[in-house]
Chain A
């Protein structure tokens, strides 16, 4: 018997003409781990909401068809009944916590479904132990990190002991370590507790191997569904290559029978290939150090008013056209570094010069003309009713502002959205709108704080191309990121921060090569065979060379 059954489901949000879900028929077995894949706006979240009963109960709209859990119509179930069977976890940890204390958050859902006190006590003890929350149980939720908050939200859902767990990109706001932790917990819950998991996710490199079945969604429809792992890669490569993580993308281009899901599988596929010396041009090294730097930081120290020393003796030079990626664990001082350069924080010691000018006594608005700062959440930057007005606002008091605005809108392919409210756009388009508004001031340096957060692979590729184009125009970029794959593909240099200090800085080929944590999939695939390979193109060249060598040896009988 199917745990979840969806029959002929079509749903349209209120005041929308196009249905978000179109004629969905689906059955999910008990204990299955299903992965929902698709671009932003393909209908993944709507499908999860329909299974959870949020659609149509919460949103209303036009609903046809039916969703069943254990043969019970979800629409007919009361919220308390649904909550006891279905657990739902969304993207933003802040939006999923309602109480001020960890323990109270854990019991919130249980109190709602009227569980008796002894049951609640037992479940709090069990859940806290299972998800390692015991030491934080009496803490205020404000003291938890983003990853911990998401773990708490998951714990609060699990305390209700749902039979089905629905997760809508639960790791999109988290750093890689916290994301890994969430996936490990999901794996345990599915394998050891038999909970049915339906996960919508963009970071396929971390979860594809966990799935029993994948469902690919496209414009509100299910375009592919399969539980045959050998088929997935080939279908995706042919139809949705842009959604694939670098490892799968690489193998989809190469003449291999199977597409691996993990680096381990990939390494075993190329294990028999002969090692050939391949000379690669390292794209990141441009020899521009002869010019004067755009940014020069000299022994910069910064301490917050509470006494926490966050930047310690930072010295750094960024030259025109360079693209730096800044890595480091949460709290390492990455965002504080950007804020010091943007003038939002002032260092207590040391000197920061942009284009040779000391910025110590300059206002943030003056510095913005030299160094544009894009925060983690582009919504913090955007507050006007249209995309066009956002860019015009940046150009206030300048000549030809209408013309310049049109040029920027065209440059970032924002023409269809010029009159649209930025908050109605996808995350990628919002990111580009904020970037265009910053670039309106024509700064030489761009300071980007986790610009790929919440973007799908297509939007990331689009952003990466935009940034490379800016580098070619001699703009320099300093990007804080947890996205190792994105940095490996597009950045030139890498800086690793640890406890407020620069732990390593240099070419991405030096820093990412054979790194334990900060190496991309392609590098890990070829680790021990060929050094300094980090991008997809480089990986492609190297493996093709291996394959050619193998063919040559086969024909020559070697």
Chain B
């Protein structure tokens, strides 16, 4: 459910490439309205996640996402009055309820869009190293990058302090998990005071040591270590051409879909263009799978 480095091609990609890839998925998920194109994006992002070795974590995302998809379809069916192809109707008291095929299909397509957006975020969470991201950010915002790094270091320490102090205070009858709501709040307040005092002491010590390491909030040099490999150029080129092709498809009327008043028929161009989108955006996954099969390519690509 979070970033854990694994030994495969996806994890070796330059963070800028991963950011661009995820950004492309998100933009296209919002631009396309054709269920075939949205499905192509969802499948491609899923394929990359699975290739990166995160199927188990992805299943958890999918479980919640499919539940959300069901809710969207259900709500749209009940509340959308548009559409002409009625496949079910009944009376509920004084109300006449009609379920249309268009509303069902629209809800389903919006659900796929949501799936694609969630998969894009999952891809980000699983494969983008927050540290490397901060390093990348440090090239433009040096001071804020140090602060971000410090927060990433201190926040878990504070949580650890809270856990440790709360555990020990159980011996003094101060168990924040027990009692009514007000009592719990009072106990958490008392514990937080102790945690805050420890954190302040540590912050002062840290500030002192930062000073001795020459940190004055001013200019810093940059220790840049992210290498650009062939794979990065290939994937970046694929993502850029995917974006351009999508733009071209959209200008040609592909990728858009009219649900109301009647569902548009899907043509062979829709199938072909969505297949193209799937193949282009699945290139990282193809490369990762290829690397697993032909290990020799590890440094070649």
Chain A residues in the interface with B (C-beta under 8 A)? 49, 52-54, 57-58, 78-80, 82-84, 86-88, 90, 92, 94-101, 103-104, 107-117, 120-121, 124, 141-142, 156-157, 160, 339, 342-344, 363-365, 367-368, 372-373, 375, 379-383, 393-394, 396, 423, 437
Contact = CB atoms under 8 A, between A and B. Distances in A.
24 contacts: A58-B207, A78-B216, A79-B211, A82-B212, A90-B205, A95-B205, A100-B149, A103-B225, A104-B135, A108-B215, A109-B214, A109-B215, A111-B220, A112-B215, A114-B221, A120-B223, A339-B167, A365-B171, A368-B171, A380-B164, A381-B172, A383-B193, A396-B173, A437-B172
A394 B172 contact: yes
Given A83-B212, A110-B221, 13 more contacts: A54-B211, A78-B216, A82-B214, A88-B209, A94-B157, A95-B205, A97-B153, A104-B149, A111-B223, A113-B214, A344-B168, A365-B170, A381-B168
Interface string B176-213: 00000000000000110110011001100111111111
Contacts of B165: 380, 383
B171 A94 contact: no
B30 interface: no
B152 interface: yes
Contacts of A96: 205-206, 209
B224 interface: yes
B90 interface: no
A172 to B, nearest CB: 13
Nearest to B196: A383
B172 A423 contact: no
A342 B197 contact: no
Contact of A84 (B175, B191, B198, B214): B214
B206 A98 contact: yes
Contact of A109 (B131, B152, B175, B213): B213
Contact of B208 (A58, A365, A368): A58
Contacts of B202: 92, 94-95
B153 A98 contact: yes
Contacts of B205: 90, 92, 95-96
A80 to B, nearest CB: 5
Residue among A94, A157, A363, A373 with max Cβ neighbours from chain B (10 Å) = A94
Interface in B122-164: 131, 135, 146, 149-150, 152-153, 156-157, 164
Nearest to B202: A95
B134 to A, nearest CB: 9
Interface residues of B, number: 47
B252 interface: no
Contact of A98 (B210, B220, B221): B210
Contacts of B146: 98
Contacts of A104: 131, 135, 149, 223
Contact of B131 (A100, A375, A437): A100
B168 A373 contact: yes
Contact of B171 (A87, A124, A344): A344
Given A104-B149, A373-B168, A117 B223 contact: yes
B67 interface: no
B257 to A, nearest CB: 45
B215 A372 contact: no
Most B C-beta atoms less than 10 A away, residue of A108, A117, A367, A394: A108
Contact of B194 (A101, A342, A383, A394): A383
B237 to A, nearest CB: 28
Contact of B222 (A113, A117, A372): A117
Given A79-B211, A160-B213, A383-B193, A373 B171 contact: yes
A501 B223 CA distance: 46
Contact of A365 (B173, B198, B209, B218): B173
Interface in B210-246: 210-216, 218-225
A523 to B, nearest CB: 35
Contacts of B193: 383
A160 B170 CA distance: 44
Contacts of A99: 149, 153
Given A100-B153, A112-B220, A364 B171 contact: yes
Contacts of B225: 103
Contacts of A94: 157, 202
A550 to B, nearest CB: 53
Nearest to B224: A117
Contacts of B208: 49, 54, 58, 90
B232 to A, nearest CB: 19
Contacts of B220: 111-112, 114
Contacts of A84: 214
B152 A375 contact: no
Contacts of B190: 383
A95 B221 CA distance: 23
A123 to B, nearest CB: 10
Contacts of B157: 94
B158 to A, nearest CB: 11
Contacts of B167: 339, 344
Contact of A86 (B156, B194, B212): B212
A22 to B, nearest CB: 22
B212 A54 contact: yes
Contacts of B207: 58
B113 to A, nearest CB: 35
A508 B193 CA distance: 41
Contacts of B219: 114
- The CB with the most chain B CB atoms within 10 A, among A95, A116, A375, A394, is that of A95
Interface string B94-134: 00000000000000000000000000000000000001000
Contact of A393 (B152, B172, B198): B172
B197 A101 contact: no
Nearest to B191: A383
B223 A107 contact: yes
A456 B54 CA distance: 52
A444 to B, nearest CB: 15
A416 B144 CA distance: 46
A157 B213 contact: yes
A208 to B, nearest CB: 26
B224 A83 contact: no
B206 A380 contact: no
A379 B216 contact: no
Contacts of B201: 379, 423
Nearest to B216: A79
Interface string B59-77: 0000000000000000000
Contacts of B218: 80
Nearest to A54: B208
* A-B pairs, 3 with minimum CB distance: A83-B214, A383-B194, A112-B214
Contacts of A103: 225
Contacts of A115: 221
A351 B212 CA distance: 52
Contacts of B214: 79-80, 82-84, 109, 112-113, 160
Contacts of B222: 111, 117
